[in-house]
Chain A
Amino acid sequence: AQSVTQLDSQVPVFEEAPVELRCNYSSSVSVYLFWYVQYPNQGLQLLLKYLSGSTLVKGINGFEAEFNKSQTSFHLRKPSVHISDTAEYFCAVRGAAGNKLTFGGGTRVLVKP
């Protein structure tokens, strides 16, 4: 079984400032890792994913995440946020042999002007 912990439930940040959203996971098997974004009153959209290979993964809208196996983390970063990045962000994990996602509790990002 896997579990995901998103350490911050809310992150306020000023426009053009950097942001980091923390995600830690636990699993006894190899995993695939995902970040999804949910804009207000919408469904979830995939931001980026780590399946294998380079531990630094680049996604849409200028986001990137780094997979750290020793620390079992997959933190999401963006060097300069925009008002339009206001959303809730979910980290998720999937066992390499399975098909089910386990989600973290989500982090709400509020970008202030």
Chain B
Amino acid sequence: NAGVTQTPKFRVLKTGQSMTLLCAQDMNHEYMYWYRQDPGMGLRLIHYSVGEGTTAKGEVPDGYNVSRLKKQNFLLGLESAAPSQTSVYFCASSLIGAEGTQYFGPGTRLTVL
């Protein structure tokens, strides 16, 4: 089991460029999440999905879009990158149910110049 994997690990963009971050999980989890991590602010939820074909906004959704066409994949898109989106992005997944422990990927470090 690879668990949760993220592609790419690092990326540098120029302001206005677009990109897509890919998250994949092989644990057959229903729920998937995208977070961003900024110093002193912990992790903040961008978008999440409770199943294939469904997505919902989290705490900081502006400037991001997501898609979940397959159960095992969750894509995060930046249509027009801004310097404020410089951050480390983490994907996570979990089962439905009372426990709901989230399992995290290794992260993607994104710099927007």
Contact = CB atoms under 8 A, between A and B. Distances in A.
Interface stretch (B14-22, B63-71, B99-107): B99-107
B107 A43 contact: yes
Contacts of A105: 40-42
Binding site of A, secondary structure by majority: helix, strand, loop or mixed? strand
A93 B50 CA distance: 19
B44 A43 contact: no
Interface in A81-105: 90, 94, 96, 99-101, 103-105
A34 interface: yes
B112 interface: no
Given A9-B40, A105-B41, A106-B42, A96 B98 contact: yes
A15 to B, nearest CB: 26
A34 B104 contact: no
B99 A44 contact: no
B90 A43 contact: yes
B45 interface: yes
B94 interface: yes
A51 interface: yes
A101 B102 contact: yes
A46 B43 contact: no
B106 A104 contact: no
Given A32-B98, A43-B106, A46-B102, 4 more contacts: A43-B105, A43-B107, A46-B103, A49-B99
Interface of B: 4, 31, 33, 40-45, 48, 50, 58, 90, 92, 94, 96, 98-107
Interface of A: 4, 6, 9, 32, 34, 36, 42-46, 49, 51, 90, 94, 96, 99-101, 103-106
22 contacts: A6-B42, A32-B98, A34-B101, A42-B106, A43-B90, A43-B104, A43-B105, A44-B90, A45-B104, A46-B101, A46-B102, A46-B103, A49-B99, A96-B98, A99-B31, A99-B96, A99-B100, A101-B102, A103-B42, A105-B40, A105-B41, A106-B40
